[in-house]
Structure 1
Amino acid sequence: MDAEAIEALERIADRAWPAAERSSLGSWILNASTGWSGRLNACWPLGEPPLPLGEAVAAVEAWYAARGLPPVFKPAGPLPALEAELAARGYRARTPTLMMVADIPQVTRPGRVSVADTVGEAFERVFLGTQDNPEDAAERMGAFHRIARPRVFASIEVDGAPVAIGGSAVEGDWAGVFGMRTLAAYRRQGLAQDIVAALMKGARAAGASRAYLQVEAPNAPAIALYERFGFATAFAYTYWSRG
């Protein structure tokens, strides 16, 4: 992807996963929630800032300091000047992440998957059951509830209890995949594959023709799953923070 395409997709991805508080510095996006999820608590430096680079970074730092949060930057694609500025201020890159994209394939929704356009109890139970940190989980659940329609939430039950989930947010041609979770006792049984298939079917029905998702680079099993649906890496990014 070229820089223009990266910026356009990043703006869609930002709107799909809404932070509790959103602001901007020129074309840069400032997101804040309670300090857990990276995308919900980071500056997305898209395009040129309205200030000289050092002053723009300082303004972002002040914005997060006013909210009691550490400043975090999420540059997408190669931004060597910004990365050099951050490194000089003591920031370090962490959590290498891939943005993967695919043309949405023609798939059939597996019969064992239920879909809805609201989060629902089944989704919440599985998501909270796979999160070790309740504050982190609560922050992310807030974002799920803020996802704008059209959206798709998928779940699978075994013996009457929900065990696997995933969500999708649609904007125009694009559908984002979020919140893929399977309870530990039910992994490696093809449930996640069926959830993705259901999300792709739902997204296509909502008008999308392409899909994107973010996955941490070391997560080889998840990457292999997504590749089976045609996903490939469009670009990579890291989070820059101090400490």
Structure 2
Amino acid sequence: MADMTAETRPDPALALTAALERHSARAWPAPEYVAVHGWELRFAPGSRSRRVNSLTAVKPEPGRFGETLALARKLCAQRDVPCTVRLTPLAGEEPARELAGMGFDIDQDATSVMVAPVGRFEPPASVSILDCVTEGWLDGMAASGASPDERLLIGRLVDAVRMPQGFATAFAQDGPAAFGRVACERGVAGIFHVCTNPASRRQGHGRALMEALLAWARAQGAMRAYLQVVAANAPAVALYRDFGFREAYRYSYVTL
């Protein structure tokens, strides 16, 4: 059997990206998906989350991005929503080149996807994790800026997840201080919705929350964890690096 050439040998970085993208799509599912030439056009009306309201590459058909984008714009116009393209490494160079040629800046608001081995942590007594979403968790998480309608939608989206989940709340002396969610499947844990009440920041609640989320993930058999964070959010990135997270790839959005 002939050796695989450099051109046909799988790229480990792209394989990891594809695996994390698949996991993330199941752990934070859009209510509606439309397949378009190897892309997914995702719709979640009422949500501010662009991950579930964007055109995202799965396995794009080469040379068809212009056709793909035209159809996506048509479908978005029919629903009266903006057309947003999510550019991950799976998209390749063609979309970025075409969008740049249209005058769009693709380097703004980059999100870093960070990955780490799941370490051994003891869950702090100040953090509670439940295996189902509660009204209290939704209220606390939504206090970071979600509207009442979006809060209801988030509840429906997490109810649609078909893998074990943990909903964490870190408590200060005067009540709930930080919130987060973890979803585990096949040895991989995705961490989502991490937020801390403004009045409770820089008091260690985010660190306690992460310890609890990772401890819960290990108890579910997870060996690897990932999360998504705005690359420019230096304090959050520094916290996650303390837990061993390192950047695997970045993605950005372009809204037409």
Aligned to 2:120: 106
* Greater displacement, 6-15 / 43-52: 43-52
Aligned to 2:22: 11
Alignment-mate amino acid for residue 161 of structure 2: I
Gaps of 5+ in 2: 1-11
Aligned to 2:43: 32
* Greater displacement, 189-198 / 79-88: 79-88
Give, in whole Å, the separation in 2 of the partners of 1:90 and 1:69: 21
Match for 1:168 among 161, 179, 182?
Answer: 182
Query: Is contact 2:37-2:64 (8 Å) kept?
Result: no
1:147-181 per-residue CA deviation (whole Å, 9 max, x = no partner) reads 33311111123346322111011121211000111
Aligned to 2:69: 57
Query: Is contact 2:13-2:248 (8 Å) kept?
Result: no
Query: Is contact 1:46-1:75 (8 Å) kept?
Result: no
Match for 1:88 among 101, 116, 140?
Answer: 101
1:183 aligns with 2:197: yes
1:76 aligns with 2:88: yes
1:72-104 per-residue CA deviation (whole Å, 9 max, x = no partner) reads 111212722111122334543232110000000
Give, in whole Å, the separation in 2 of the partners of 1:85 and 1:32: 23
The residue matched to 2:122 in structure 1 has which SS? coil
Match for 1:120 among 134, 140, 156?
Answer: 134
Runs of 4+ in 1 over 6 A off after TM superposition: none
Give, in whole Å, the separation in 2 of the partners of 1:184 and 1:145: 27
The residue matched to 2:72 in structure 1 has which SS? helix
Instruction: Say if 1:81 and 1:43 are closer, same or farther in 2 by CA, change over 3 A.
Output: same
Task: Name which one, 1 or 2, has greater alpha-carbon Rg.
Answer: 2
Instruction: Say if 1:132 and 1:32 are closer, same or farther in 2 by CA, change over 3 A.
Output: closer
Aligned to 1:21: 32
Give, in whole Å, the separation in 1 of the partners of 2:25 and 2:192: 12
Q: CA RMSD in A?
A: 2.0
Query: Is contact 1:131-1:137 (8 Å) kept?
Result: no
* TM-score (normalizing by structure 2): 0.87
1:46 aligns with 2:45: no
Query: Is contact 1:36-1:139 (8 Å) kept?
Result: no
Query: Is contact 2:129-2:168 (8 Å) kept?
Result: yes
Aligned to 2:5: none
The number of equivalent residue pairs is: 242
* Greater displacement, 226-235 / 136-145: 136-145
Alignment-mate amino acid for residue 85 of structure 1: E
* Greater displacement, 22-31 / 98-107: 22-31
Alignment-mate amino acid for residue 99 of structure 1: V
1:233 aligns with 2:226: no
1:192 aligns with 2:206: yes
The residue matched to 2:109 in structure 1 has which SS? strand
Query: Is contact 2:53-2:84 (8 Å) kept?
Result: yes
* Greater displacement, 35-44 / 51-60: 51-60
1:62 positional shift: 1.8
